[in-house]
Structure 1
């Protein structure tokens, strides 16, 4: 039986390309999308490109009912889930200076980028536990690196976003905590930074292509039994915490 993967926020951009690359690697892929029409549109595009083993699943990551329903639906379709890619995320509104970021902005960003990841992961853990080699990839950002944020020589040193950066730093800690809990199992749990990619997320100002951005996500989603866990990676290797 083919290995299976679920990707949140996969109807466009990096999530969509991650789905395409996993399909090319022989996986059966479920496109998580909060909008049913957009999810089906993504599936049809992938099928037109020659990939048949792909389905859409409605999944609004900030809605507990949607998460529960999606987990139940997927459990009825497959005996186990091999890969969960927590890709869905939002940048929040601007400005995000520490002195003026609003509570509403902070809560909205953390709800999607942090709390929703935990909720989705917990909901699908029973299905992941049935896999012989379960993999969880939390799509992070080097803007969540405390090391880079504190280093005046780093590429994005001046990009200080109180809501977004903090949410990704929190996400990285969750990856470490979950990886530690599952350390004596066959799980591999890692944070992966796709890099500054030209997508709707940043009005296509990024310098990386979606193909290059998805590559490290796929690499750690398909890592072998001797692969790492509890780490933070970019396409160039280890990313400082």
Structure 2
């Protein structure tokens, strides 16, 4: 049976490359995109690599999430992999106190609440299929070279979710694996396509992200750094 994956934010950047690489190894990929035209353009490009399907999905909109969950349950009950890739950084340069509450609510909705609601909605399928949830995250410890207040405060609960759900899955013998990958600095439109020796291309980041899906190892509860080491919050 063909394995089916949903990748959010897959019409461009890292998400597009994740979808491409999963297609190349035989997955059917539901290409999550909030804009139909951009989504269709991406799907048309991805179909040369395999079975790509458009899944209209806006993780900032709970109704859109519910609609996508219903569609997937009805049409793709074999879903085995959810990649929560879609995210927004907010302003990565201004001091934390200069943000409005509304700005923080926006990043939190996209970076945590949306992935939480989507994962919760699809969890029955993933349990039935012994599936995997992979969250794309970032380092949440501020330091002089990366002090992105809105981005980090929105991704921090995603890392907590990863560890908390993993613990509960193990305690309750639920056959689902959940882990997070922090690919490091990647040149995308979210950061103005930065460059540097330490910066990955989207396809390099996707290769790292997909490698943990394909390596047949148990990564449950892990938050994995760009270099393969594990983040330690203790």
Normalised TM-score (structure 2) = 0.91
Tell me the matched-pair count: 227
- The equivalent of 1:137 in structure 2 is 134
CA drift at 1:52 = 3.2
Question: Which blocks of at least 5 consecutive residues in structure 1 are unaligned?
Answer: 150-155
- The equivalent of 1:198 in structure 2 is 187
CA drift at 1:238 = 2.1
State the secondary structure of the residue aligned to 1:31. Answer: strand
- The equivalent of 1:230 in structure 2 is 221
Q: Distance in 1 between matches of 2:73 and 2:98?
A: 44
- The equivalent of 1:88 in structure 2 is 86
- The equivalent of 1:208 in structure 2 is 200
Q: Does 1:119 align with 2:117?
A: yes
- The equivalent of 1:16 in structure 2 is 16
Q: Does 1:157 align with 2:148?
A: no
Q: Aligned pair in 2 of structure 1 residues 134, 223: CA closer, same or farther (>3 Å)?
A: farther
Q: Does 1:189 align with 2:162?
A: no
Q: Aligned pair in 2 of structure 1 residues 67, 186: CA closer, same or farther (>3 Å)?
A: same
CA drift at 1:80 = 2.0
Q: Distance in 2 between matches of 1:3 and 1:41?
A: 23
Q: Aligned pair in 2 of structure 1 residues 158, 235: CA closer, same or farther (>3 Å)?
A: closer
Pairwise CA RMSD: 1.6
- The equivalent of 1:152 in structure 2 is none
Per-residue deviation, residues 10-35 of structure 1 (Å, max 9, x unmatched): 00000000000101111110000001
Question: Which blocks of at least 5 consecutive residues in structure 2 are unaligned?
Answer: none
- The equivalent of 1:26 in structure 2 is 26
Normalised TM-score (structure 1) = 0.89
